[in-house]
Every structure is written in C-alpha cells, then in structure tokens.
C-alpha cells in the first residue's frame, strides 16, 4: 500500500459540494492500493502514518508524530498512486488492485485509523472528489508498506 502524506494546517474533501471530511492541523494521507496488498500491509502502513515524525519539537526538528501532536488525519483513496509512469506519456494502472479489493482494504485502513486515533476524516472510495489543503512547510512524504520511503 502507498500513502502520500502531507503535513497540513487544514484539509478537506468534498463530493459534489458535500463536505465529507475536514481536519485542522495534522496529516492528509492519499492512499493507493496495489495488487498483492493485504490487511497486514494496511495495518503496517497505518502504524507508519501515525508514528512518522514530521512535526516539530521544541527545537524545531521533525521529531514528533501525529499521535504525539494529536493532530487530525484525513484519509483519501487515490488509485492513481499505483500508476506506472516510468515510460511514455500516459499512465498505466495494471499494478493497481482490483476495485473490490482496494475498497475493502481502504475500508479496513479507515476502520483501524478510527479505532486507534482521533480525529479521523475520510473521502469516499470511487468518487470524484475535490481535495483542498494548506500544506504546512511544505512537507510531503511517500510511504509504502514494506519499509521504503521516498521524499516527494
């Protein structure tokens, strides 16, 4: 699973002018599901998102996690994170999990996030959403279950 996380001072998601979720200071996490992902990878990714230290401590260093600062978490499903972009000018999506599998894993991730942390808000799987955010920093990281981290 993939999470593109952004430290935000505020973020919200809407579908056709309906506000689905909003947070103040915290993390916006765009979530992608790839073939072969399972619940254990969703759980591992959630732990990383909640424990990844991207908030400043008293010395101004990124040393505090979302749990530490008790910030909001906005989860938004985004299948385009699974795109193949290495060649050509059009993305391919053969790595993306099937919609039913991806919806179930996103649902699992959301339920676990709500069980372990508050506040948690969410987008709607499969919907055309409008996401608004104020990126604080800017700070953006690419996380994958399995341990690899890329800075965006």
Alpha helices in the chain (DSSP H): 39-51, 66-69, 99-116
Active site residue 140: no
Instruction: Write down the catalytic residue from 80, 85, 93, 130.
Output: 80
Contact (CB, 8 A) for 51 and 86: no
Instruction: Write down the catalytic residue from 52, 55, 79, 125.
Output: 79
| CA 74 – CA 84 distance, rounded (Å) | 25
Instruction: Write down the catalytic residue from 6, 41, 78, 144.
Output: 78
| CA 64 – CA 115 distance, rounded (Å) | 21
Q: Report the 10 Å Cβ neighbour count for 87.
A: 7
Active site residue 78: yes
Active site residue 79: yes
**What are the residue numbers of the active site?**
78-80
């Amino acid at each position: 699973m993939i999470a593109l996380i952004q430290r935000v001072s505020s973020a919200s998601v809407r579908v056709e002018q309906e506000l689905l979720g909003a947070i103040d200071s915290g993390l916006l996490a765009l979530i992608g599901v790839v073939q072969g992902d399972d619940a254990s990878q969703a759980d591992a990714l959630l732990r990383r998102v909640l424990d990844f230290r991207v908030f400043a401590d008293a010395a101004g260093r990124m040393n505090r996690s979302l749990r530490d600062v008790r910030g909001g978490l906005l989860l938004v499903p985004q299948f385009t994170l699974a795109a193949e972009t290495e060649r050509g000018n059009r993305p391919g999506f053969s790595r993306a999990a099937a919609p039913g599998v991806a919806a179930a894993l996103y649902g699992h991730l959301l339920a676990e996030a709500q069980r372990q942390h508050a506040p948690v808000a969410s987008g709607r799987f499969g919907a055309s959403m409008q996401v608004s955010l104020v990126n604080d920093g800017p700070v953006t990281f690419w996380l994958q279950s399995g341990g690899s981290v890329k800075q965006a």
